[in-house]
Structure 1
Amino acid sequence: MQSRVQNLLPAESGLTRQPAYARLFAPEKLTVGLILPLETHPDSPAPTMRDHVVMAQKAEELGFASLWMRDVPFFDPSYGDVGQIFDPMVYIAYLAAFTSRIALGTAGIVLPMREPLILAKQVASLDQLSHGRMVIGLSSGDRPAEYPLFEIDFETRGDRFRDAFGVYKTVIEKSFPHFDSPRFGRGWGTLDLVPKPAYGRTPAIAVGHAQQSLAWIAENMDGFIGSSPVLNQLPLFAKQWHTHVHELFGPEMFKPLCIGGFLDLVENPNEPLVRTRGGFRSGSKGLAQFLSDAQAAGVNHIALNPKISRRPYAELMDELASDVLPHFPSH
């Protein structure tokens, strides 16, 4: 099969020029981002969101690659977490007005509960208004209690994800598109979505498996964010992703692999990294070593959520900036 790309470029035109993608992703390199809120609150389901704009600007100044926003429509006490409180699409627009370089992403929009035509309009608008700093991470959601509010069967979320993504991708990338969905409408090529993304395309990354196979994600999406496996399985985790990409598109293809999780950054910088529920506990040097191993294995970005830590968030950012980011700079 003839290669569709050269020199490890993404599958479709536009992504290497899109500033968010270019800042975050490059072959054999790893960058570091933060999952919002930029505040520690280990004993409370909700952050205060004090000084959140100042903290976002600080993250950009220190050189973090990205800020990721979660999609939590309602507070479910059994989960005990509301993310960054604000709707991610609205919040991205707000932070875009106060920053200029840092990538702004979702981790991830619960696609089965979103109307894909409206989502496409929102994403393209945000990409234009932020001058190409938008990355759309998409998930299927993991909170069964939310689905009845939308009159959606939780068990159908995998099928709905594929259906919605097909409509979303068609209308945001094609001019006067044709599409026919059993759930989300039909287009006869007589109407066009405006605006289109600032650089032709906005990266669409799977956050978790979204009830899909890894092969489907590798074929249809621009990258994958997964939970980090136990440390000794990280090379296999990365190999599985890159093997799917190469088998589908050829060995020159590059689609980024990312991991995400909570971070409890302890004061002792030499404390080695250990895997915890949903993330890591480590000193800064132990974290840097883990990221070096992850980069060597083929991981291209990590999104960290230090909200579980009991140290001041600004202190954590400064320590990461001094001990970790110099080894893994944004592109």
Structure 2
Amino acid sequence: MSALAQPIEKESSSLVVRPHPKLERHPGFQRLFRPGALTVGLILPLETHPSRPAPTMRDHVAMAQRADELGFGALWMRDVPFYDPEYGDTAHIFESMVYIGYLAAATRRIVLGTTGIVLPTHEPMYLAKQATSLDQLSGGRLVLGLSSGDRHSDYPMLGIDFDTRGERYRDAWSVFRTLTEESFPNFRSARFGGSRGTLDLVPKPPFGRIPSMAVGRSQQSTEWLANNLDGLLVFAPGPDSLVNVFDDWQMHVRAAAGEEAFKPLSLGGYLDLSSNPNEPFRRIPGGFRAGRNGLVAYLERARDAGLSHAALNPKVSRQPYAEILDELAEYVLPHFPSHE
């Protein structure tokens, strides 16, 4: 067993917790998630534009390479196909799975993830083909976050009933997992076709499984998520709520997969990085504001509560993004290094 695959023993007990066996060898999962530690990633675009709906995407490859060199854990892509002025946000403009492939060729170590693919609006067989191909081509750097979506306007645009998104999520997930982890599967979906066992998806995941996490509750019960997904990413809780949020998730994980199961809990949201380094956590729409020392204090509380990763989106900050990268790399990342 490699060093990356060694089980981790919690300091507070003799209990050894580990992820799904197939994920013990997955480089992307291992880079981000370990019990008792927390890593930091960035939600794209790597550009600040607090007063504009769309980034310019100028120098986006160079910025991604810089984040890779500085040691950030992951780059996270959002799934926003259309511009809706009511929401006023286009994310990183490019289609997420295409963009992952592009950045995979330009970077070396950084994980490439989604926060998240709106699963009910995607054909799961093609998504499975995309995901297994990207994980193969990137050397196991894909972590697939899956959401149910919250933009009402997307669903009628695609001819899908918004109120069915929870059911479609479960149906699409079943197809995705079946195709990626079974050989010549015999299955039937209520919405997405099926097979009599005469066809097989290629390629299969290079490490046996695509790490997949729910982004938000995705219109599902926590029990269902703990039974089916490999982890959960939630909107950044307030400092006083971190322990309760983790304990609730951990209770459901243990009920679903046993006392030794490790299914990481992560947080995400906007970061408005204050020029006052000591400014503490303060809630803003979609995230929080803090100075670098306040951010470290918050992330330390998150780590001590049991959370494993923080996906931060500084697009609402006022500083040039290159300055944000350098400040986070100098003052924050040393406390929360990625797992090499």
TM interval, short-chain normalised: over 0.9
Q: Cα offset for 1:45?
A: 0.3
Query: Quick check: 1:202 aligned with 2:202?
Result: no
Gaps of 5+ in 1: 1-5
Cα offsets for 1:26-81 (capped at 9, x unmatched): 00110000000000000110000000000000001111000000000100000000
TM-score, length-scaled by structure 2: 0.94
Say which of 1, 8, 26 aligns to 2:17: 8
Say which of 204, 217, 220 aligns to 1:212: 220
Task: Provide the C-alpha distance between the structure 2 equivalents of 1:167 and 1:250, rounded to a whole number of angstroms.
Answer: 25
Task: Provide the C-alpha distance between the structure 2 equivalents of 1:194 and 1:123, rounded to a whole number of angstroms.
Answer: 11
Cα offsets for 1:274-310 (capped at 9, x unmatched): 1222111010001001000000001100000000011
Task: Name the residue aligned to 1:70.
Answer: 78
What is the identity, as a one-letter code, of the residue corresponding to 2:257? Answer: F
Q: Cα offset for 1:230?
A: 2.4
Q: Cα offset for 1:7?
A: 3.1
Task: Provide the C-alpha distance between the structure 2 equivalents of 1:272 and 1:118, rounded to a whole number of angstroms.
Answer: 44
Q: State how 1:257-276 maps to structure 2 within 5 Å.
A: 257-276=265-284
Conserved 8 A contact 2:268-2:310: yes
Task: Provide the C-alpha distance between the structure 2 equivalents of 1:81 and 1:26, rounded to a whole number of angstroms.
Answer: 33
TM-score, length-scaled by structure 1: 0.97
State the identity %: 61
Say which of 286, 290, 294 aligns to 1:278: 286
Q: Cα offset for 1:191?
A: 0.4
Task: Provide the C-alpha distance between the structure 2 equivalents of 1:66 and 1:158, rounded to a whole number of angstroms.
Answer: 28
Query: Quick check: 1:173 aligned with 2:181?
Result: yes
Q: State how 1:66-215 maps to structure 2 within 5 Å.
A: 66-215=74-223
Task: Name the residue aligned to 1:49.
Answer: 57
Task: Provide the C-alpha distance between the structure 1 equivalents of 2:107 and 2:257, rounded to a whole number of angstroms.
Answer: 36
SS, match of residue 14 in structure 1: helix
Q: Cα offset for 1:25?
A: 0.2
Cα offsets for 1:166-223 (capped at 9, x unmatched): 0010001111111110100011111000001111111011001110011110110000
What is the identity, as a one-letter code, of the residue corresponding to 2:16? Answer: N
> RMSD across aligned C-alpha pairs, in angstroms?
0.9
Task: Provide the C-alpha distance between the structure 2 equivalents of 1:272 and 1:302, rounded to a whole number of angstroms.
Answer: 17
Gaps of 5+ in 2: 1-14
What is the identity, as a one-letter code, of the residue corresponding to 1:181? Answer: S
Following TM superposition, the consecutive aligned residue runs of length 4 or more in structure 1 with deviations greater than 3 angstroms are none
What is the identity, as a one-letter code, of the residue corresponding to 1:166? Answer: S
